Amino acid sequence: MSSGAVLVAALIVVGLVATWWDVIQVLTSRRRRRMPPSLPPTHPARRPALTLEGALARQVMTRRITCDQYRRAMTTVAGRDAGRHPLDLPPDLRPPQVL
């Protein structure tokens, strides 16, 4: 065999080993993704919602209310919150006064 043929054969072997290594890595990462994650002792979906927003989010995720009903309810919650706790901007960030 000539030195050129040996070099080509060596490059082919290196390419096959590198490709095989990548295939092994892809297959093991897919296996890891398929394994279900370990859940905490109490599943978070079964705990009661602590806020109104949490209760509404759970209802829309379980399809007890529609997305439109969720948006309307959140609009009401936001309006009520703005009335109870108005946002007070610093003087340099307030919009200019109209005369």
Q: What is the pLDDT along the chain (99 residues), one digit of tens a residue?
A: 677 888 888 888 888 888 887 878 877 776 666 655 555 555 555 677 788 898 999 899 888 999 999 999 999 999 998 888 887 777 777 677 755
Among the residues of 35-99, which ranges form H helices? Answer: 52-61, 67-84
Q: What domain range is 79 assigned to?
A: 50-85
Residue 97 lies in a domain: no
Amino acid identity of residue 49, one-letter, is A
Residue 6 lies in a domain: yes
Q: Specify the 3-state DSSP secondary structure of 42.
A: coil
pTM: 0.44
Q: Are 69 and 63 in contact (CB under 8 A)?
A: no
Residue 41 lies in a domain: no
If one counts the domains in the chain, the total is: 2
Task: Return d(Cα 23, Cα 18) in angstroms, integer.
Answer: 9
CA distances from 35 to 26, 28, 30, 32 (A): 15, 11, 9, 5
Determine the pLDDT at residue 32.
60
Determine the pLDDT at residue 31.
61
Residue 28 lies in a domain: yes
Identify whether residues 28 and 54 lie together within a single domain: no
Residue 38 lies in a domain: no
